[in-house]
Amino acid sequence: MSQIIINVEAQKDEPNGYDILNRAIFYVSRMISSQKERDFSNSNYNDIKRVYSIWVCMNMPENSLEHIHLVKDSIVNSHAWKGKLDLVNIVMIGLAKELPKHEEKYELHRLLGALLSQNLTANEKLDIIGNEYAIPMEKDFREDVSIMCNLSQKIKETGIETGIEMGKREMIIKMYNKGYTAAQIADVAEMDEKKIKDIIKNAELLTV
């Protein structure tokens, strides 16, 4: 029996603050070292389990799939060193913004893209997963997909509402700075005058 340790990470996009591959290397290194005194002890290094760090990055320019692992380059002659080169594995999966067509090359990307999409409805996701991939549509699975869709939609709606609210606040402050009274702003914005005054007051406190 072969035992492996798998770590899966999902990213909404490729981060700008650091190189994602460096983070993946850190993760597999930690997964190897953490086995000491847990999966093997003393000098029993032959008991080290193979590790995989799998990264799914969304909103990428194109679909991609890379397996990053150890290789041996013989510089001077060649010696059959004992040991396993397959202990450390990094798998980088890039998902494009648009769902790829149903073809063998992009089977994995279409499945993951459909499951993680914020644009497809629960029924559209289940149709792709069930009909194209013949994955059993059990009740628990359907409920999980529905929950995922409702959560992503709520996050999306909350973001839109927050943006609208921020836009209104900026408009109110600009009008006030140009000399409009709270009553005039309330009339234009179709909001309660007291709320307009509270927004102006809070803005003044922030600038103090």
Question: What DSSP line would sit under 103-128, residue for residue?
Answer: -GGGHHHHHHHHHH-SSS-HHHHHHI
Each residue of 30-58: pLDDT tens digit?
A: 999 999 988 888 889 999 999 999 999 98
Is residue 92 a contact partner of residue 65, using CB atoms and an 8 Å limit? yes
Instruction: Provide φ and ψ at 48, rounded to 5°.
Output: -65, 130
Cβ-based neighbour number of residue 39 at 10 Å: 14
Spell out the per-residue pLDDT of the chain, length 208, in tens: 678 888 888 888 888 888 999 999 999 999 999 999 888 888 899 999 999 999 999 889 999 999 999 999 999 999 999 999 999 999 999 999 899 988 899 999 998 888 888 778 888 888 888 888 888 877 777 777 776 666 555 545 555 455 556 677 788 888 788 787 888 777 767 778 888 888 888 877 665 4
Whose CA is closest to 110, among 131, 87, 91, 90?
131
